[in-house]
C-alpha cells in the first residue's frame, strides 16, 4: 500500500501545516553560566536528534510504503544515514548542478510525478520531566519540503529549504521511547523559488533537535539597540513575546563582563523591557564588541549576544555608526566538497578566518539565509552581512524570449504573494537579533514586482533599523520600476565606467551596491584594482561583493585513484551548466586562488604612497573605517636584484581612520652601486588576533628607486677572442653555427632554432615556434568564441623566405619572412624575424609583425621553446612569487625568485591559462645543476614555464586529464591579454586587450651554466 498524501507540495495555499510561527534563533538554558558557553549540549532543555537515522530512498513519492511512519514499522533493514547530511553526497539520487535552468519542467505550481523522496525514521528517548512541559522540534534546514509524524501520528508539513521549521510535539510524545518519521520530497512548488546557482541537494541537511519549553515561556525576542544622535548614549529595547503571563528578568553585560543593568517586568503575551546603556561600546566589523543579554523566565535562561550599531543612509552615503563605510565583500554559498550544503562549524570558522586574513569585511549570504551558527560567528569575528531571503526564480527567463515581463512572471502573480512574503518573514524573524546583519536582501534574480514590494514593505515595517536591498529592480531588467521600498540601488557586473557614471549622476540619489562584480572564475578576476580606484573615489559607491567565495567542486576520484573536483555534467545530469560552479576565490578545499591574493591587496585597509622615496619620505593612508593603525607597524627592506642591502622596522603607526601620517624610513641609497633598487614596505600585525598570528602581513607596497649609473655586467673574454671559433655551415636546409663553447642549429625551412647547446649540452628538445594561442581562461568564455571562429586556435607558420649571412663582427644573422595563419583564413600576422647568433653564443631575436585588421584582440604573441627533460629549475627577476597578468598584478612583488616548474603552475579545477609572470626582467630555465637558458629583453616581458603546452591545457576538462610532459615549455611573451572577469562580467577593458596592429618584439636567449657565472 502506497502512502496517501494530499499533495501539499503542489498547493500554493498550503505553505505549512502545524508549523509554529517564525521566531528568533535561540536555545533555552538552565542558568546564565551554561548559557554563556553557547554550547547547546550543556542545556538540559536541549536534545539533539543529529546522528544515525534509518533511511530509505525512493525514486518517486508514490512508491513510499503507506505504513513507513507507523510506530511499529520494522525499519531494521533500511540503510543507515547520518543526519544532518545531503542524500546525494551519500550515494542516493542524482548529483545535479544547474545555474539558471530549472531541473524540472516549468509548470508552476506543479512538479514531476516522479518526485524523489527520502523516508527517515529514528527512535529517541524522552525524559519523564519533559512530558510535564512543552516539547518542540526544530528542523534548521530541510530541502525541499517534508512531512512529519511522531509515534505514528501526523504532526505537520513544511517547505522553505533554508529556513527553520518548528513544531509542538507535546500532544504526540510520551516518556520513554518515541519514534519520529520524516518524509522529505525533492521538489515542491517552493522549488520554483529556489532556483539558485548551486548543486541541487536534498534531505535533512542542517541540525535537528528537541527543546523542552516551560508551558508559559518566552516565544520570541526582538532586541533593538538604540543610540542617541551623537552615539554616546544607548538603550536596549527588548520586545518580548510570551505564551503566558511571565515574570521576565533582563540583565545586560558589557564586552568586558561587567553588569550594566538589570530590570524585571511582568509580560503577558507581549511586552517591552528597556535598559539604559551609558556610553555604549559600538559594534563594527573591525571591533566586534558584543554585549550579552540574559532573559530569565521560569526555569529558562535565554542568552543573546548583541551589538550597538546604527546603520543609515545619509545624503546617498551608506553609513555605520555615523561613518561612511566601504563594503569589501564576497558572495558565499554554503558549500563543502564532501558534505554538500551540510557545513560543520569548523569549516565555517575556517572560511571566516581566511576572509579576515584577506581583508574581507562583508559577506552576502547568496542566495538564502546561511546556517544560523554562521551568523553567530559573523557577530563574533566581525563581518557585515547582507542577509538574503531564500528566493530565486531565475529559470523563469527560459520560458520565453526575454521580452518585457517574462522575468517578472512569478514576482507579479498574486497567487505567489504569500510564498514570497513568507520567505522574508522567516528570514527576518530568525536573524533579527544579529549584530552582523546590516542589510536585508529580498532574494536574487527573480524579476521584480508587487510580491517583492510586499516583502520589502513588510521587512521595513518589522525592522526599520536596517536598509533593504534587491538587485532585481535594476532598470536594465524592468522599465521604470517603483523602487521606493528599496534603500539602495544595486548592480551585477556593471563595468567600471558604468559605476562611475552612476556616481556622477546627480539624479541617482541612493548609494550603489555591487552585489556581484569581478567574476572570480578560474584565472581571475583581473579587474579588481580598476573597480576600487573608482569605489574609493566616490562616496556614493558603497562597495560590493566579488562573485564568489569558493569553487563548488565535488570531491571525486577516477577509477585509477586520481583525486579531482567534479563539476556540472560529470555525473550525467541534465540540464547542467558545466564548470560554471567553479567560480570562486578559493578551491573547494579552501586553498586560496591567486585571485584571493589579488583581492587582499586591492582592498587592503592601509595604503602607502611615496612623497620622496629617495629621501625615505612616505605617506600612510588609513583606510579602516573605525580603527587607528596602532596595531600595525611597517617593516622594510632595500634590495638590488634580490640582494638585501638594508632593512629595518618603523615605529608603530598612529593614523586615525581616514587620515594620513608621514612615514620616514632611515635607509641610505648606495651612491656608487648601479640601480635600480626596490624598496618593499610590509604592513604587519603587532599582536595575535582570532584569525592571524603576530607578524601577519596585512598588505605590502613597493617602490623602485634609481641607483648610480653603473657599467653593464662585464663580459668574460672579449667578443673578438671568440671570433676565431665562429663557423657557419648550411646543409640540406639546416644552418649550424659553431662557436667557442656552443653549437646552434637553425632549420631554415621552419625559420626557427632547432637546437641550442652549450658545452655539448642540448637545451632544446623541439624546434621553437611563435604562438598566438593561450588556453582560454574561464573569463575568456565569450571572446574565446571569436578567437576560435577566427581560427586562432589552429595557428601554423608559413616561411616565405629564409636567408643568412655572416656579419663583420663575426656574428651570424638569419632573416625570416613569415606569416601565422590557419586553414580557411587569411594570415593573422605577417612579419619578419631576425635571429642573430653572437660569438658568445647569445641568440638575439628581433620581430616586427603586422596584425590583420579585422581580427578580434589576440590572446598573446610569444616565442615558445621546448626544453629537455630535467629542466626543472626556474630563477627569475620580476614579479612573484605567483602568477600575474597585465590586469592582475596588485598582489605580486618585484624580487628574485627560485622556483620549480611545478611551482609555476596553478592547478585550476578546469585547466586553463596559468602561471605567466608579467613584467619579468630576466629569467633562467635550467636543470638542477644550473645548465640552461637565460632570457632577457629590451622591455620587461611575460614569462611562463610549464610542463604543459597551451594545447594540452585547452584540451583538458579536468585536472586528471592533464598528462604532465617531461619537457618544460617556456613561453616568452611580447604581450598577453588580461584576465578580466568576462565569464559573467563586462568584456575585458580595452587597455588590457592585446589589440595592437603593428608591434616589435626583441628578446635575447643566452645558454648558461649559471653556477659558474
Active site residues: 445, 516
Query: What are the cell numbers at 226?
Result: 538604540
Beta bridge partners of 318: 313
Cα distance between residue 960 and residue 132, in whole Å? 60
Host H or E run for residue 253: strand 233-253
- Between 417-431 and 450-462, two packed helices, what is the crossing angle to 10 degrees? 30
Beta bridge partners of 770: 863
**DSSP states of 711-771 as a string?**
PPPPPSS-HHHHHTT-EEEEETTEEEEE-SSBEEEEETTTTEEEE-EETTEE--SEEEEEE
**DSSP states of 75-114 as a string?**
-TTSEEEEES--GGGGT-S---EESSS-SS-S-TT---SS
Cα distance between residue 224 and residue 873, in whole Å? 61
Give CA 696 to chain center in angstroms. 21
Assign 502 to helix, strand or coil.
Answer: helix
Beta bridge partners of 861: 975
Give CA 313 to chain center in angstroms. 27
Is the Cβ–Cβ distance between 895 and 639 less than 8 Å? yes
DSSP code at position 579: G
| Of 289, 298, 294, 301, residue with least CA distance to 275 | 294
Assign 377 to helix, strand or coil.
Answer: helix
Q: To which residue does cell 626544453 refer?
A: 867
Query: What are the cell numbers at 908?
Result: 585550476
- Between 345-357 and 372-381, two packed helices, what is the crossing angle to 10 degrees? 40
Sorted by sequence, the CB contacts under 8 Å of residue 713 that are 6+ apart come out as: none
User: In 901-949, which ranges are E strands?
Assistant: 917-926, 931-946
Give CA 556 to chain center in angstroms. 21
| Of 954, 951, 879, 890, residue with least CA distance to 919 | 879
* Residue 111: Cβ within 10 Å count: 26
Please state whether the peptide bond connecting residue 242 to the residue before it is cis, i.e. omega within 30 degrees of 0.
no
Host H or E run for residue 950: helix 950-955
Cα distance between residue 628 and residue 626, in whole Å? 7
Please state whether beta strands 893-900 and 812-821 pair in parallel, antiparallel, or not at all (unpaired): unpaired
Please state whether beta strands 384-388 and 437-441 pair in parallel, antiparallel, or not at all (unpaired): parallel
Tell me the H-state helices in 818-892: none
| Of 384, 504, 505, residue with least CA distance to 441 | 384
| Of 782, 800, 855, 865, residue with least CA distance to 825 | 855
SS3 sequence, 414-442? Answer: HHHHHHHHHHHHHHHHHHCCCCCEEEEEC
Cα distance between residue 500 and residue 165, in whole Å? 44
Cα distance between residue 176 and residue 858, in whole Å? 74
Is the CA virtual torsion 889, 890, 892, 894 positive or negative?
positive
Cα distance between residue 842 and residue 958, in whole Å? 40
Q: To which residue does cell 584565472 refer?
A: 523
Query: What are the cell numbers at 462?
Result: 518589522
Amino acid at each position: 500500500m502506497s502512502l496517501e498524501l494530499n499533495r501539499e507540495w503542489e498547493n500554493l495555499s498550503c505553505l505549512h501545516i502545524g508549523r509554529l510561527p517564525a521566531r528568533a534563533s535561540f536555545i533555552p538554558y538552565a542558568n546564565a553560566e551554561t548559557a554563556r558557553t553557547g554550547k547547546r549540549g550543556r542545556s538540559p532543555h536541549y536534545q539533539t536528534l543529529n546522528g544515525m537515522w534509518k533511511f530509505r530512498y525512493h525514486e518517486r513519492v508514490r512508491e513510499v510504503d503507506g505504513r513507513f511512519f507507523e510506530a511499529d514499522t520494522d525499519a531494521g533493514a533500511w540503510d543507515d544515514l547520518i543526519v544532518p547530511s545531503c542524500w546525494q553526497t551519500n550515494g542516493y539520487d542524482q548529483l545535479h548542478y544547474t545555474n539558471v535552468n530549472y531541473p524540472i519542467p516549468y509548470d508552476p505550481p506543479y512538479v514531476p510525478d516522479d518526485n524523489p523522496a527520502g523516508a527517515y525514521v529514528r527512535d529517541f528517548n524522552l525524559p519523564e520531566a519533559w512530558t510535564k512541559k512543552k516539547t518542540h522540534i526544530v528542523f534548521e534546514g530541510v530541502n525541499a519540503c517534508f512531512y512529519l509524524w511522531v509515534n505514528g501520528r501526523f504532526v505537520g508539513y513544511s517547505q522553505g529549504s533554508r529556513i527553520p521549521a518548528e513544531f509542538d510535539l507535546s500532544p504526540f510524545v510520551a516518556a520513554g521511547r518515541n519514534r519520529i518519521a520524516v518524509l522529505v520530497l525533492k521538489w515542491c512548488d517552493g522549488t520554483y523559488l529556489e532556483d539558485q546557482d548551486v548543486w541541487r541537494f536534498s534531505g535533512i541537511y542542517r541540525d535537528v533537535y528537541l527543546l523542552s519549553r516551560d508551558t508559559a515561556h518566552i516565544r520570541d525576542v526582538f532586541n533593538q539597540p538604540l543610540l542617541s544622535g551623537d552615539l554616546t548614549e544607548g538603550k536596549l529595547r527588548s520586545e518580548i513575546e510570551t505564551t503566558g503571563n511571565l515574570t521576565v528578568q533582563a540583565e545586560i553585560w558589557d564586552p568586558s563582563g561587567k553588569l550594566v543593568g538589570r530590570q524585571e517586568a511582568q509580560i503577558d503575551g507581549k511586552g517591552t523591557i528597556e535598559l539604559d546603556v551609558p556610553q555604549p561600546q559600538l559594534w563594527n566589523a573591525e571591533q566586534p564588541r558584543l554585549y550579552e543579554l540574559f532573559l530569565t523566565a521560569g526555569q529558562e535562561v535565554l542568552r543573546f549576544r548583541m551589538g550597538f550599531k546604527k546603520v543609515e543612509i545619509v545624503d546617498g552615503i551608506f553609513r555605520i555608526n555615523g561613518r561612511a563605510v566601504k563594503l569589501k565583500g564576497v558572495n558565499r554559498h554554503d558549500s563543502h566538497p564532501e558534505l554538500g550544503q551540510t557545513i560543520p562549524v569548523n569549516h565555517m570558522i575556517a572560511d571566516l578566518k581566511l576572509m579576515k586574513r584577506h581583508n574581507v569585511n562583508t559577506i552576502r549570504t547568496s542566495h538564502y539565509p546561511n546556517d544560523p551558527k554562521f551568523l553567530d560567528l559573523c557577530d563574533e569575528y566581525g563581518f557585515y552581512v547582507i542577509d538574503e531571503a531564500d528566493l530565486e526564480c531565475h529559470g523563469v527567463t527560459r520560458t520565453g524570449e526575454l521580452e518585457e515581463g517574462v522575468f517578472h512572471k512569478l514576482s507579479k502573480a498574486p497567487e505567489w504573494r504569500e510564498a514570497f512574503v513568507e520567505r522574508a518573514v522567516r528570514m527576518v524573524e530568525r536573524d533579527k537579533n544579529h549584530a552582523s546583519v546590516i542589510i536585508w536582501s529580498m532574494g536574487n534574480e527573480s524579476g521584480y514586482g508587487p510580491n517583492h514590494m510586499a516583502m520589502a514593505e513588510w521587512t521595513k515595517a518589522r525592522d526599520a533599523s536596517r536598509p533593504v536591498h534587491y538587485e532585481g529592480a535594476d532598470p536594465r531588467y524592468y522599465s521604470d520600476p517603483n523602487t521606493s521600498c528599496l534603500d539602495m540601488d544595486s548592480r551585477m557586473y556593471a563595468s567600471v565606467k558604468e559605476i562611475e557614471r552612476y556616481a556622477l549622476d546627480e539624479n541617482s540619489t541612493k548609494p550603489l551596491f555591487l552585489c556581484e562584480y569581478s567574476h572570480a572564475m578560474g584565472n581571475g578576476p583581473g579587474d579588481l584594482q580598476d573597480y576600487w580606484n573608482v569605489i574609493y573615489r566616490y562616496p556614493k559607491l558603497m562597495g560590493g561583493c566579488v562573485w564568489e567565495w569558493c569553487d563548488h567542486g565535488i570531491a571525486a576520484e577516477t577509477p585509477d585513484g586520481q583525486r579531482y573536483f567534479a563539476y556540472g555534467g560529470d555525473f550525467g545530469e541534465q540540464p547542467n551548466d558545466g564548470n560554471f560552479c567553479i567560480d570562486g576565490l578559493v578551491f573547494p578545499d579552501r586553498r586560496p586562488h591567486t585571485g584571493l591574493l589579488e583581492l587582499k591587496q586591492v582592498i587592503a585597509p592601509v595604503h602607502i604612497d611615496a612623497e620622496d622615496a629617495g629621501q625615505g619620505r612616505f605617506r600612510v593612508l588609513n583606510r579602516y573605517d573605525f580603527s587607528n593603525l596602532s596595531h600595525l607597524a611597517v617593516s622594510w627592506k632595500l634590495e638590488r636584484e634580490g640582494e638585501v642591502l638594508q632593512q629595518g622596522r618603523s615605529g608603530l603607526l598612529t593614523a586615525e581612520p581616514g587620515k594620513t601620517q608621514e612615514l620616514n624610513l632611515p635607509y641610505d641609497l648606495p651612491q656608487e652601486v648601479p640601480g635600480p633598487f626596490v624598496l618593499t614596505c610590509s604592513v604587519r600585525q603587532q599582536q595575535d588576533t582570532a584569525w592571524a598570528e603576530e607578524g601577519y602581513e596585512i598588505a605590502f607596497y613597493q617602490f623602485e628607486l634609481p641607483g648610480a649609473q653603473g657599467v653593464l655586467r662585464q663580459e668574460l673574454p672579449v667578443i673578438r677572442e671568440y671570433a676565431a671559433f665562429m663557423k657557419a655551415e648550411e646543409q640540406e636546409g639546416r644552418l649550424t653555427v659553431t662557436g667557442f663553447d656552443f653549437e646552434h642549429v637553425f632549420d631554415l625551412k621552419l625559420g626557427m632554432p632547432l637546437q641550442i647547446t652549450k658545452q655539448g649540452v642540448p637545451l632544446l628538445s623541439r624546434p621553437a615556434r611563435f604562438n598566438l594561442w593561450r588556453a582560454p581562461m574561464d573569463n575568456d568564455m565569450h571572446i574565446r568564441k571569436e578567437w576560435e571562429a577566427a581560427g586562432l586556435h589552429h595557428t601554423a607558420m608559413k616561411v616565405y623566405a629564409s636567408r643568412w649571412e655572416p656579419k663583420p663582427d663575426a656574428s651570424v644573422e638569419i632573416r625570416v619572412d613569415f606569416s601565422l595563419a590557419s586553414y580557411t583564413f587569411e594570415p593573422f600576422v605577417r612579419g619578419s624575424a631576425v635571429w642573430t647568433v653572437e660569438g658568445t653564443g647569445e641568440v638575439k631575436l628581433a620581430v616586427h609583425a603586422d596584425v590583420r585588421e579585422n581580427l578580434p584582440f589576440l590572446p598573446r604573441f610569444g616565442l615558445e621553446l621546448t626544453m629537455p627533460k630535467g629542466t626543472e629549475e626556474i630563477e627569475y627577476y620580476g614579479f612573484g612569487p605567483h602568477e600575474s597578468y597585465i590586469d592582475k598584478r596588485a598582489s605580486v612583488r618585484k624580487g628574485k625568485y627560485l622556483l620549480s616548474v611545478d611551482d609555476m603552475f596553478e592547478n585550476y579545477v578546469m585547466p586553463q591559462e596559468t602561471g605567466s609572470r608579467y613584467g619579468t626582467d630576466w629569467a633562467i630555465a635550467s636543470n638542477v645543476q644550473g645548465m640552461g637558458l637565460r632570457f632577457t629583453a629590451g622591455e620587461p616581458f611575460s614569462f611562463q614555464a610549464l610542463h604543459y603546452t597551451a594545447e594540452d591545457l585547452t584540451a583538458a576538462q579536468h585536472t586528471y586529464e592533464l598528462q604532465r610532459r617531461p619537457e618544460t615549455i617556456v613561453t616568452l611573451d611580447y604581450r598577453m591579454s588580461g584576465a578580466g572577469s568576462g565569464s559573467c562580467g563586462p568584456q575585458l577593458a580595452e587597455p588590457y586587450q592585446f589589440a595592437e596592429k603593428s608591434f616589435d618584439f626583441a628578446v635575447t636567449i643566452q645558454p648558461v651554466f649559471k653556477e659558474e657565472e
